[in-house]
Each structure stands twice: as C-alpha cells, then as structure tokens.
Structure 1
Amino acid sequence: MALTDTRLKNLKPGDKAYQESDGGGLFVEVMPGGSKVWRIRYRLAGKQEKLTLGEYPAYSLANTRQWREACTTLAQRGLSSMALKRGDQIPDDTLPEVTALASAFLEKWCSQTVARVKAQEIEAKEANTVEAFAWRWFAEVAEPANSTPRNIKRVLEKDVLPAIGTKQIVDVTVDDVLKITDAIKARGADQMALQTRNVLKRLFAYAIARQKVTFNPAAVEAKFIASARSRDVALSSDEIGRLLRSIYQSSMKRALHLLILCMVRKGELIEARWEEIDFAKAEWSIPGERMKKDKPHLVSLSRQAMAMFEELKALASGSEWIFPSRGDLHQPIAHSTLNVAVRALEIDVRDFVIHDFRRTASTHLHEAGFNSDWIEKALAHETKGIRGVYNRAQYADQRREMLQWWADFVDSQIEEGRKVIIGRFGKAYRAA
C-alpha cells in the first residue's frame, strides 16, 4: 500500500526499527528514536544495492518518489546510484542521461556527482574547440608527417586560432574559413591565404575521420581563395633599377633594399635583432628558429649592407630590434608592413611581390656564372646528398665575394636613369 503524507506523519517509533514500503524498492525506516529515514533497494547486474537518501520530512514524499524513479532509470542503464553519490567518474556516453536526471532534487542528493558531470561537460566542450583539436591534430598528424612543421604551427598561431580558436569545431562554417583567407589576402599575401586554406582542409579532414564533424568547411576550391601566382619570372636589370628607385620614396626603403642585397626572406629580416649583427666581421647570424628549415644561417654582408645597418643602428633608439615598431620599441614592425609599403608605391614593374627579390638575385647570379652551390647556400636552400652536408659557414669566402658583386650590380642598376636621391651606401667602406 502506497504511503501518504498523513500516514507518514502518524508513524510512531517502536522498540525496534521497522519499515513501511511505498513500492518499487522505496521504503521509510522508522527508528526507535522517532526519526524516519528514506531508503531504496534496487538490483544492478544481478546484485542488490541499498541506498539512503535522508530523513522525512526534510525529503518530502514527492521528492523521494522522484529519487526512486531516477535510481531505477539509472539502474536500467547499468549505472549505480550509490557510485554516483560517491562522486565516481561518469562515462562520457552517459553524460546526457545523467544530466537529464539531474533535477533540483538530484542536485541536493548527489551534488558532488552533478558538479563532476558539469565539469566533464565543460571539459568535453573545451576538448572540441578548434584550438584544442588543432593542437591534437598538430601533435598526432602534422608534426610527425612534415619536414617543416614550424610553418604549420605559424599558420595556426598567426591566423587560424586568433579568429576561430574558441569556436566548437563542429560550428565552423565555410564563411569562417573565407574570412580568415580574405584577411590574409588583404595584407597582400595571396600565397599564404592558399597555404592557410590547405592547413585547414587537412585539419578538418582529420576531424571528419575522428567523427567530430561531418563536412569539411575548408574544402573550398583554391580558385575561390586566391590565384596562384607564377614564380618563374625574375626581374630584369632595368626593372631592378626602376623598382629600387621607386622604393626609395617609401619610409621602408632600407628594409626593402636590404631584402634584395641579403637575399633573405621577409620574416628573417623584420624580426632581426642587433645581437645578430657582427660589425667587426661584417656578418649576420640568423638563428635556426627563424629559418624555414630550422637551421641557423650566416649572411656575409656587403659594404652597402653594412653601411645601411650602421645607419639603422643610429636610428634604432636603443631598441633590440633592427626594425622596431614606431608604436612600441620593444616589438618589431608587423609582418604586413613591407607589403603595405610596396602596395602604396607606383611601381612600373609587372606583378611584383616581395619574394621576387630572392628569385631575381638567384637568376642574375647564375647568369653571371657564379657557382650554383654558393647561390643555394646564400639563399639558405638545402642541397640534397653529400654536397648538402650542413655547415652554416660553407663557401663563406665565395659567398662574401658573390654578395659584394651582387650589391655592386644592384647599385649600377639604380644609377641608370635615376630621378630620386638615394644614399650612396657603401662608399666609405670601399675607401676603407
């Protein structure tokens, strides 16, 4: 016979404890001292468990029946209410069920479990953010499979994670991907936009394999991201002169001039520190962490390059950076600064991009008859086989002679028909 509040109130204590059932394993135990304690029995995996809730009337008949239904449902799902009350770990696949049963009553009864359930939900959610999943993919797939994983890491840190790192990976849309690539294109880096799209495409392919998402938002055709630019054309002698004469109207003239003289990549120059320049030896030692192949690189500096570094040193205002930011001397200029400076110029040179400096130097040095190994080493390109055994000072004397020839060659192109005043860099070094 089911219990009622009237009957519960009228239960009197005896010499010994006795029980009154409400059905379904739920009963109240009347103690000799007069307390009335709710308990339940249920079977789990063939064994009986008995659990105590608390005293009546602190726990009402209605709440206690809700407790019975919750315990019964959980037992049917193979979960022990006794284990939940202890705060044992909840299997991930049962989280929705337990959460659904976590009513206001259950929060009182097993607050430790409910708190753990919520913590597990938060942890599961955080594990599926783009940032958390991206680093999982990087560690498990990208880093072991790539010879230059640092480039992928740079893509994630610079453009992807600041934009969508906190989003759930399942919520990322095609529009999110296009906003990232459009922002990269806006700073004049079409090729980087394509590279970033490729990284995202591989990341989401892995997410599909792990059943985190059902479609790849980065599977956008490359032609909708950017047009791949041919990298087969170098600037002619005449174009070098026109370009440098135009560049000397820019506030970034020394940086752009040094790019072509030193044959380094843009990132290697703008993040350079004064500690890397040896003025006595006329050498620039670039640490491996800034190089594409993660190996340190030694640049022999021509007289013209040395003169520019001397002038830049006087302008650095004590900053550790060779090209400090105008707004913060403790930071280098932004990666987009040189691209913005070039786009602001009226350049009568076809489809020029900053990377063309390196190809142009390589082309003219080969045409002048310089040894290919010297050129490749100056460009920090890795040579395969026994000839590629690494030594950052390899061909140092030959490279110094070659880079001085190149600086003089560039000077001669600037001199031809120039209409702007350009500093006569290197003259004092020639006389020394």
Structure 2
Amino acid sequence: MFNTMLGDMADLPSTAITRAMAFDLIQKYAAISPVQAGKLRCELGAAWDYAMDAGRLPEAAVNWWRLILRGKIRSKGKTIEGKNIGVVKRVLTEDEIGELIAWLPNFAPIITDVLMLYLWTGTRGSEIVGMSGTEISEEGGQVWWTIPKIRTKNARHETATDQSVPLFGRGLTVVLRRKKLYGDGFLFPSRHKVGHIEQKYVTEQVFYRQPYSQIRPEQVRPRLTVTHWAPHDLRRTSRTLLAKLGCPDSVGETILGHMLPGVVGTYNRHQYDDEKRLWLFNLSEHLESLAKRFEI
C-alpha cells in the first residue's frame, strides 16, 4: 500500500510532512476509494505512533494522520456491474433463506459449512474459520462451542469473557463432523498454508458464484439464485430472525457476541447461557422449517 499510494512523499523525511500534505494525500484517495483511503490513513498513523514511541521522531512531532479527516471518510458502498448501489446492509427474506440453504451444497464443502454456521450461530466469520476442536465440549448433553476471549472482537475490553455458543441442528452436524475429521486442530484448515482458511476466502468464493461475477468468466460453475449478499449478511439475517421470533434484545446481542452498552453492560455480568440455548434452538428449528420449503 505504501509503495503504490505514497508517491513522491515516500522520499521525504518524516519531519517534513505537514498537516496540509497529509490532508491532501488522504483526501485524494478518499475521493475515489474511501475504504482504501481510510486504511492508508490508519497504517500511516500506526507507523507514526511506533516511531514516536521508539524515540525516532522529535518530542514535538505531531501525528497528523491521527488528526486529519477524523470520522469524515465515508464509504460510497458497493459497485456491482458498474453501478453504485450504495451502502447495503442486506437481510435475506425467509424465502431467500430457504432457497439459499438448499443451494449451499453447490459450494465446496468447506464453504458450505462456514456459511451454514453463519446462519445457525450468528457468530462472526473470523470466529468461525478459526474454530478448533479444543473449543468444542459437551456438558449435560449439550454441545458447546467456547470462543476464547482473545479470538473475539471484545478482546480489548477488560470485562469481556469467553463466548459460549450452544450448537443445534445443521450447525451441530457441521461441527461434529469436522471435529471427527480434524480432532483438536483447526476445523477449517487451509490446504495452502499452516493454519486455517481466511475469512476473505469465503467472501471471495461467494462473490465468484454470483451471477454478475466476471472473475474467470470462461469457467462454467453454478451461479447463485439468491443474489447480492455477502457472508456477513447471513449474520445480520440470523439476528433479524431472532428478533422476529421474539428473542429479547439483550439475549440477541449476546448471541452475536456484542457487549451490552452503558450501565447494563457495566453491572450485568449474566452470560445468558440458558437463554442462548432456548433461542438458538428456536432459530435452528425455524431455519429447518424454511429449508423444508425448498426440499426436493
């Protein structure tokens, strides 16, 4: 990113960078690619932070990258088939969910299983692909997936804890099958490196199957019949279904791994394990009923 975006500025001494120069660089990219501009600003800010901490910049140096355009770089949303469709937060309809579940086996098994877990657990993609057999346990006849705090988005919060996810239905089937195959190792191992597959790989595979994807157009492959969605939209869809089923917000947010806000989050240390079992079971049953609409 630095090699391709800094241009002539790359050859300047750090102390020569002014606020105006920093602003002009980021603003130039923000006009054409806001997301990439935000990443560049973030990485430059981190580089300056490190240099200042290490004493490689004067005491009076200012990290302009942390100060310019704060909160002012906005994504223009997705562009599909040359048309900007804006910032889309997609929630699949119930018919679309049933149709998609029936279609999922057209993906490679590893992608099918990840997408199934998005729907059946509502967890984050990074948490799913990083799942290991050591995180799976059984207690009182219930199989649990315990996501270590360090692997969650709440790792930086002192009061955060490990996230317990009760498994049901097709989500349970996926996990038990993969644990039988891979034991205590990563349940979604990569074929190309040591470790697990990346979340972005799943996103790329979903886009590759969209009817509007122009990636390797000469290759014939099944195209999705439920379109214009990304894996993260399945997490949003599960949360919406939970709300429709009557799940209390506090439980629904805990299922997603969100920390409860304000005073509630500060004083309420209840983990809602019993409630999660109830509502994820209800979600599983509802997903099954939607899938049956499209069974052949």
Structures share a fold, TM > 0.5?
A: yes
Amino acid at match of 2:130: E
CA distance in 2, matches of 1:341, 1:211: 38
Residue 176 of structure 2, aligned match among 289, 307, 310: 310
CA distance in 1, matches of 2:269, 2:165: 9
Over the aligned positions, Cα root-mean-square deviation in angstroms equals 3.9
User: Structure 1 residues 394, 223: closer, same or farther in 2, change over 3 A?
Assistant: closer
CA contact (8 A) 1:194 1:225 kept: no
Give unpaired runs (5+ residues) of structure 1: 1-159, 182-192, 420-432
State whether structure 2 residue 192 is matched by structure 1 residue 327.
yes
CA contact (8 A) 2:126 2:198 kept: no
CA distance in 2, matches of 1:415, 1:284: 26
Ranked by relative contact order (alpha carbons within 8 Å, sequence separation 6 or more), the top structure is: 2
Residue 291 of structure 2, aligned match among 382, 391, 414: 414
**Deviation sequence 1:351-410 (CA, Å, 0-9, x none):** 211111121112121112121111011011222233224777611111101001111111
Amino acid at match of 1:241: G
Give the match for residue 371 of structure 1: 248
CA distance in 2, matches of 1:286, 1:349: 30
CA distance in 2, matches of 1:297, 1:195: 30
Alignment of 1:116-135 (within 5 A): none
Residue 285 of structure 1, aligned match among 125, 135, 146: 146
State whether structure 2 residue 59 is matched by structure 1 residue 240.
no
Give the match for residue 297 of structure 1: 163
CA contact (8 A) 1:272 1:322 kept: yes
User: Structure 1 residues 201, 250: closer, same or farther in 2, change over 3 A?
Assistant: same
CA distance in 2, matches of 1:326, 1:344: 19
CA contact (8 A) 1:382 1:388 kept: yes
CA distance in 2, matches of 1:255, 1:224: 25
Secondary structure in 2 matching 1:404: helix
Moved more, 238-247 or 336-345: 336-345
Amino acid at match of 1:286: I
TM-score, normalised to structure 2, is 0.67
Give the match for residue 71 of structure 1: none
Moved over 3 A (4+): 163-169, 171-174, 193-196, 202-212, 219-228, 389-393
Amino acid at match of 2:163: H
CA distance in 1, matches of 2:267, 2:133: 25
Amino acid at match of 1:229: V
User: Structure 1 residues 401, 309: closer, same or farther in 2, change over 3 A?
Assistant: same
Once the two structures are TM-superposed, the CA of residue 415 in structure 1 deviates from its matched residue by 1.3
How many percent identity over aligned positions? 23
CA contact (8 A) 2:253 2:260 kept: yes
Amino acid at match of 1:314: K
CA distance in 1, matches of 2:113, 2:96: 18
User: Structure 1 residues 240, 269: closer, same or farther in 2, change over 3 A?
Assistant: same
CA distance in 2, matches of 1:225, 1:307: 34
Residue 239 of structure 2, aligned match among 354, 362, 374: 362
Once the two structures are TM-superposed, the CA of residue 237 in structure 1 deviates from its matched residue by 0.7
**Deviation sequence 1:151-186 (CA, Å, 0-9, x none):** xxxxxxxxx57x679999635999x99xx99xxxxx
Residue 276 of structure 1, aligned match among 110, 124, 135: 135
Residue 399 of structure 1, aligned match among 276, 287, 294: 276
Aligned length: 238
CA distance in 1, matches of 2:11, 2:78: 21
TM-score, normalised to structure 1, is 0.47
**Deviation sequence 1:95-146 (CA, Å, 0-9, x none):** xxxxxxxxxxxxxxxxxxxxxxxxxxxxxxxxxxxxxxxxxxxxxxxxxxxx
State whether structure 2 residue 204 is matched by structure 1 residue 340.
yes
Larger Rg: 1
Secondary structure in 1 matching 2:165: strand
Once the two structures are TM-superposed, the CA of residue 267 in structure 1 deviates from its matched residue by 0.6
Give the match for residue 120 of structure 2: 261
Once the two structures are TM-superposed, the CA of residue 239 in structure 1 deviates from its matched residue by 0.5
**Deviation sequence 1:316-364 (CA, Å, 0-9, x none):** 2x56101001234x31012322112212332222421111112111212
